[in-house]
Amino acid sequence: MAVLRLPAFPRHAWPIRLAVATILALALAGVVHAEDTSVIIDGSTGLVLSEHHADEPHAPASLTKMMTMYLAFQALRDGRLKMGEKMPVSAHAAGMEPTKLGLRAGQTITVHDAILGMITKSANDAATVVAERLGKGSEARFVDAMNAQALLLGMSHTHFTNASGLPGGDETTTARDMSRLAMALYRDFPARAKLFATTQFRFRGRLVRGHNHLMAHYAGMDGLKTGYTNAAGYNLASTAVRSGHRLFGVVLGGDTWRARDHRMAELLDRGFADRTREAAVFASAPHPQRHGLAHRVLNALSPIGTAEAETLRPPPLQVATPHAVEPMKAQPAPIR
């Protein structure tokens, strides 16, 4: 058994000894995390406004469910799923660790409620039900589709091991890859993406509340996903709109949900400030001629800035058929 030895300090320096002991104990418990990684992207242009170790590998935790929902939205669009369809709950799905909706084996849940359960409660049981439904009874088959879709979206540093984000071994992602997924959800499914603004919903007579505290406190924020495991720390993918401009942000590895939320708000504020300065520069420049071929081409290529836009969508990406939460207190924290 390893023995924890503290550095020698004078007797009167007991507060320092206590602080060192606490940090070492937390490190051994796996709850002290490296410096967070982040990226902020302009949703209209795709330009990176800021980044910090954005390609550093990191556990995705429940941000994994964003891909589960991407494939669910794809199935809804293609007619392979219906929002009102009742999906069976297996013993495997019911046995998922919290956070969850508390589904029991033999019950059913609608696609609509499963999606809202993933968005708000980060429900691991709901994610597994969706995976088994689309994987024809096999979560592993569904995970193959998740990883195939990740490659199609350019998420070359991401590997999923399950549909929920629970620790499974070698799951990994990066802040940049998760920003690609967040943007793809709004680009490819603009009508469905509005569901990410849901902060609570009523499920079987009880009110299910969400973990995304910034939704109520950051002006213009209207969606996406939280995540937490001991290994990952506190993760967050966010999107917000101000003055018609949409930004996407990802922060991975916060030590607390408050620190993570503060970091996200700070980065988005800087991003919007940069956009405002950029707009002021363009407004002060001479106006180009507003006709001619060049103007018509620029109009045709004008990017979509909000999730409500339904036109000028690129063809949705397809995946070939594969072969074959957030707690208010840091401790104890459920895995989600």
Q: pLDDT of 128-137, one tens digit each?
A: 999 999 999 9
Residue 298, domain member (yes or no): no
The CATH number of residue 182's host domain is 3.40.710.10
Average confidence (pLDDT) over 168-174: 92
Has residue 12 got a pLDDT over 70?
A: no
Q: Which domain holds residue 99?
A: 33-283
Catalytic residue among 38, 90, 122, 238: 122
- With cut-offs at 50, 70 and 90, classify the pLDDT of residue 162: very high
Residue 25, domain member (yes or no): no
Has residue 24 got a pLDDT over 80?
A: no
Q: Which amino acid is it at 91?
A: A
CA 41, 249, 179 angle in degrees (round to 5)?
A: 70
Is residue 122 part of the annotated active site? The answer reads: yes
Residue 68, domain member (yes or no): yes
Has residue 10 got a pLDDT over 80?
A: no
Is residue 62 part of the annotated active site? The answer reads: yes
* Assigned token pair, 16: 């320092």
- Output 169 or 324, whichever has higher pLDDT: 169
- With cut-offs at 50, 70 and 90, classify the pLDDT of residue 275: confident
Is residue 138 part of the annotated active site? The answer reads: no
- Of the candidates 237, 259, 258, 260, the one whose C-alpha atom is nearest the C-alpha of residue 248 is 237
% of the chain surpassing 90 pLDDT:
70
Has residue 208 got a pLDDT over 90?
A: yes
Average confidence (pLDDT) over 75-95: 98
Residue 288, domain member (yes or no): no
Average confidence score pLDDT of the chain: 81
pLDDT at 36: 86
Cα–Cα distance between 196 and 179 in angstroms, integer? 15
Residue 103, domain member (yes or no): yes
Residue 293, domain member (yes or no): no
- With cut-offs at 50, 70 and 90, classify the pLDDT of residue 169: confident
- With cut-offs at 50, 70 and 90, classify the pLDDT of residue 279: low
Has residue 312 got a pLDDT over 90?
A: no
Total number of domains in the chain: 1
Residue 333, domain member (yes or no): no
Cα–Cα distance between 25 and 19 in angstroms, integer? 10
Q: Which amino acid is it at 198?
A: T
pLDDT at 335: 54
Catalytic residue among 65, 100, 121, 225: 65
Has residue 118 got a pLDDT over 80?
A: yes
- With cut-offs at 50, 70 and 90, classify the pLDDT of residue 334: low
Has residue 177 got a pLDDT over 90?
A: yes
Average confidence (pLDDT) over 242-266: 97
Catalytic residue among 62, 90, 164, 179: 62
Cα–Cα distance between 61 and 70 in angstroms, integer? 16
Average confidence (pLDDT) over 80-105: 97
* Assigned token pair, 289: 């001629």
- With cut-offs at 50, 70 and 90, classify the pLDDT of residue 276: low
* Assigned token pair, 11: 């007797």
Residue 13, domain member (yes or no): no
- Output 327 or 108, whichever has higher pLDDT: 108
Has residue 283 got a pLDDT over 90?
A: no
pLDDT at 30: 38
pLDDT at 294: 40
